[in-house]
Amino acid sequence: MAKKAVAGFALLAVAGLALSGCSAGGADDASNTIDGEVKGDITVVTWRTDLVEDGTFDEYEKEFQKLHPDVNIEFEGITDYEGEMKTRLSSTNYGDVIGIPTMQPSQFEQFLEPLGETADFEDTYRFLTTHTYEGTQYGLAIGGNAQGVLYNKRVFEEAGVTELPTSEAEWLAALQKVKDNTDAIPLYTNYKDGWPLSQSFSNLGSITNNPDAGIDMAEDPAPWTEGSDIYAIDSLLYESVAAGLTEEDPLTTNWEQSKVDIATGKIGAMTLGSWAISQMQAAAEDNGASADDIGYMAFPSNLDGTQYSLIGGDYNLGVSKHSTSKAAAWAWIQWLIEDSGFTETQGMISTVTEKPLPDNLSGFTENGVELFEVNPAPAGKESLLSDVSNDSQIDLWGQLYRQKMVDIARGAAEGDKDSYFAELNERWGASVEKLAG
């Protein structure tokens, strides 16, 4: 299953591919609102192909229908979710409930039904900042994740790592012990699948405990400078590769196999959001290993001795503007988030503010890791970071510039860290001057 925290801001494709499952009746019918009668057929389009295939969502539907018997649900899972959904959005028939693919906030009203004023959600839900625009809420996170590094506890113990690293130097020393004392690959990049490389960007702000790190980067002419979040994030990857502490041939990595390999101790660590914990624990149980071997640490950095982890929403669920069963679609979103038990079984942070953190983040509590959320961007600057990213052609939410960084670090492309970071700063700075100056 291809999972993500955030993805690239690509332009929507021209060609469209129709989806089935919308019920009879016009999308513009005056009675077809999210506050209308909960009935009809809806299609839920999801990136969670595993939960479609194993029948989990079908069981959820049965529970939901006890409350809303006049709603029938079809679930459609898509592996290349971001790519395919951006194509389908060029049509008017892309399902009723969708995980909102990456788009500019100004585009929300073009594709999504408004859910209400953001202020009315603030006392009930977490993770509202990414899918609000001009005071209107267009999506609610299915759940939330903390950011950091997934690791195999048994591998680290066998390597002789007695304390989790809290700096880049300690991180490289820990990975070297894994390389020297075990047969495991210390850090697995998942270079070939690509999207896992973007996961580290979700730590932006964690290094400097800065909830405004996104907008600060959007206005910084040289963010790849030592002392910044993005410098620390990309330096960690670069130095790990340059030291020979990653897989031997990144061109042959395999995401699905990597889940099994970290679960069974063939991989030491992967930089992923906490959403991955439950998947790796399941892989351990399916392959004769212990789910307790899967651990989660904060990004290896600290500020005056304290570590921080950014928590944020996973995919936001939204109602299609073109749905013909908007009330049913909205009822499903609310039930899944509030009453289904989804986040508890997936080990995610509940979007519902009053619910506690999942057990799999207990290590954060034990190590004194402090959690925080990002602040919303100032009015008028909601899309500035993505605008600068697009203009500079540095895909912050993608993998291309990071794949090049890995290639340089492993000697497969010309340059070094200093020259590449200088190039990134030059391109980024020119776009900041144009768009934010």
What is the SS3 string spanning 180-227?
Answer: HHCCCEEECCCCCCCHHHHHHHHHCCCCCCCCCHHHHHHCCCCCCCCC
Each residue of 56-65: pLDDT tens digit?
999 999 999 9
Contact 217, 385 (CB under 8 A): yes
| Token code pair at residue 21 | 């499952």
Specify the 3-state DSSP secondary structure of 172. helix
pLDDT of residue 368: 92
Of 275, 307, 274, nearest in space to 205 by CA: 307
Each residue of 201-221: pLDDT tens digit?
999 999 999 999 999 999 999
Each residue of 36-87: pLDDT tens digit?
999 999 999 999 998 999 999 999 999 999 999 999 999 999 988 988 998 9
Of 398, 404, 437, 407, nearest in space to 423 by CA: 404
Domains in the chain, start-ordered, CATH in brackets? 40-143+314-356 (3.40.190.10), 146-313+357-437 (3.40.190.10)
Antiparallel, parallel or unpaired: β 185-187 and 308-313: unpaired
Indicate if the pLDDT at residue 3 is higher than 60: no
DSSP string, 306-351: B-EEEEEE-SEEEEBTT-S-HHHHHHHHHHHHHTS-HHHHHTPBPS
How many angstroms from the chain centroid is the CA of residue 423? 27
Amino acid at residue number 168? E
Q: Mean of the pLDDT values across residues 131-153?
A: 95
pLDDT of residue 377: 86
Indicate if the pLDDT at residue 2 is higher than 80: no
Each residue of 246-271: pLDDT tens digit?
999 999 999 999 999 999 999 999 99
- pLDDT confidence bin for 26, thresholds 50/70/90: low
pLDDT of residue 380: 87
